[in-house]
Amino acid sequence: MKQSKHPPYQDILFVDSSTGEKFVIGSTMQPTETAEHEGKTYPTVRLAVSSASHPFFTGSEKFIDSEGRVSRFAKRYQKKREQEKRDQEQREKLEKEASLKKKKKS
């Protein structure tokens, strides 16, 4: 192996940001962040999902949303549903008023 061609192989600490689970694996990644684990300092990579938090491996049905995507989606469409509900109530109110006017004319 030529030294100048290949990145150095080293132990990297991977941290699952949703569960806090930590594990060390050898890799050629070059992270800038470091952290201490079991008395030794390792270059660190933060993961959004790992086997410690993925529903397939944990057996749970609910996905742990570490970045808030699901909550943003729910909030956005909740506003839309509320607006549709207000529009429906307004239409019903107008229809009721129109039917009352027809009854008064008759």
User: What's the pLDDT tens digit per position in 7-36?
Assistant: 888 899 998 888 888 989 898 888 888 888
For residue 27, give the nearest of 2, 5, 52, 44 by alpha carbon. Answer: 44
Residue with tokens 């009854």: 103
Instruction: Give the global pTM.
Output: 0.50
User: What's the pLDDT tens digit per position in 71-97?
Assistant: 778 888 888 888 889 999 999 998 888
C-alpha 103/C-alpha 106 separation (Å) is: 5
